[in-house]
């Protein structure tokens, strides 16, 4: 099976610009949430687990 074919053998449809933008926005939001969670965890660790 070639990378451009689906499992059912139907020809692949080209994604529209809107679909690409929606996918990029989704990936961006996921990365933003991951980075925000990382920084929040680092701040919580710094505040609660450092020796005073």
For residue 9, pLDDT beyond 80? no
Please tell me whether the overall predicted TM-score, pTM, comes out greater than 0.75 for this model: no
For residue 23, pLDDT beyond 90? yes
Q: Which residue has better confidence, 19 or 3?
A: 19
The closest alpha carbon to 12, from 22, 1, 23, 21, belongs to 1
Per-residue confidence (pLDDT) for residue 6, from 0 to 100: 57
pLDDT in tens, 42-52: 999 999 888 66
Residue 33 pLDDT level (bands cut at 50, 70, 90): very high
3-state secondary structure of 8: coil
């Amino acid at each position: 099976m070639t990378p451009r074919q689906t499992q059912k053998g139907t020809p692949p449809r080209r994604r529209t610009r809107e679909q690409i933008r929606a996918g990029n926005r989704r990936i961006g939001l996921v990365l933003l949430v991951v980075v925000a969670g990382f920084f929040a965890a680092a701040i919580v660790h710094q505040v609660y687990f450092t020796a005073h």
